[in-house]
Chains A and B, each alone.
Chain A
Amino acid sequence: MSEHTAVAAVEHPAVLQHQFDDLEQQMDASTLGMWVFLLTEIMFFGGLFAAYTVYRAAYPEGFAAGSLRLDLMLGGLNTVVLIASSLTMALAVRAAQLGKRQDLVAFLSATLGLGLVFLVVKVFEYHHKYVERLIPGPNFFFDGPHAAQAHMMFCFYFAMTGMHALHMVVGVGLLTYFIAKARSGRYTAQYYWPVEVMGLYWHFVDIVWIFLFPLLYLIGHRGVH
């Protein structure tokens, strides 16, 4: 312990873990570890997207009819909110790189706020679907020739947006933790990459929504026929 700590203490005593040669190596290992986790997430959501594609190809009319019952305004609003939250997250990482503590806290808080807006809008959407009897199950009711197919579409809608929303809840929790840590000055220009690693997760959840939005909300041909 003594020898290693003494060497590390020259640069940065608290944050360099003893298994790493230097901070750069530690940062690379951290970001790489997060990317490997995100690959498992890509495969997880990839399975959902593959199943969605198989069923949508089999039931194109039902999926289009079901998509028309989704609220394009709220879905579009959430897309804008989530992309804006990715911007504030990127700016938070930048503030961390520059060692600007107040900016970091402000941008992380903005990201948290936008994430909460997304979830609140999602709650309103889900509630509206409940009122309209579009939750899959015995109470599901769909007027039209493709009711059973639309039922399947709504199973995918709730499974996919539900898993996405769950990831958002986790992200909101992480942000709350990071804001508290950032306030106490845990992150510096030398030790900023935990924010970067957290940001990778947040951006990934944004990317999932970038695919969910057109595939769920925009397949019904609302305009010109």
Chain B
Amino acid sequence: MVTHIEPKRVYLAVFAALMVLTVLTVWVSYFDMGDLSIVVALAIAVTKATLVVLFFMHARHSPRLTKFVIAAGFCWLVILIGLTLSDYFTRTWLPLPQGW
């Protein structure tokens, strides 16, 4: 990749956004939203992680191969967590057969 030098203010803006999102995630945790709480918390965390990957880790200006590898990593993570949970979370859907 050709070295891309980001202006300082971009990093400061990302840092400010990360701080705002941190305050936000603490603030919303004080409200009882039931099952929605975890969705909101994870949405904020994923947003923060995406900002770090794109700007601090320079994924924006990485070669296509590097971008592809990063995307592949998250696909494998989704498979790991998705398949694990699709097993555990569906075990009680059907009653156990007689004799078990």
Contacts and interface: CB of A to CB of B under 8 A. Distances in A.
Contacts of B19: 80, 83
Given A28-B63, A98-B5, A218 B25 contact: yes
A31 interface: yes
Interface string A73-88: 0001001100110110
B36 to A, nearest CB: 12
A57 B31 contact: no
A42 B65 CA distance: 18
Interface residues of B, number: 50
A54 B84 contact: yes
A32 B73 CA distance: 12
A43 interface: yes
Interface string A11-47: 0000000000000100110011001101100110011
Contact of B73 (A38, A54, A196, A199): A38
Given A76-B22, A84-B15, A218-B25, A203 B56 contact: yes
A90 B30 contact: no
B10 to A, nearest CB: 9
Contacts of B56: 86-87, 89-90, 199, 203, 206
Contacts of B37: 219, 221
Contacts of B29: 214, 218-219, 221-223
B69 to A, nearest CB: 5
Given A83-B19, A207-B49, A224 B85 contact: no
B69 A36 contact: yes
B48 A210 contact: yes
Given A203-B52, A214-B44, A224 B70 contact: no
Nearest to B32: A221
A158 interface: no
Contact of B41 (A54, A84, A218, A223): A218
Interface of A: 24, 27-28, 31-32, 35-36, 38-39, 42-43, 46-47, 49-50, 53-54, 57, 72, 76, 79-80, 83-84, 86-87, 89-91, 93-94, 97-98, 192, 196, 199-200, 203-204, 206-207, 210-211, 213-215, 218-219, 221-225
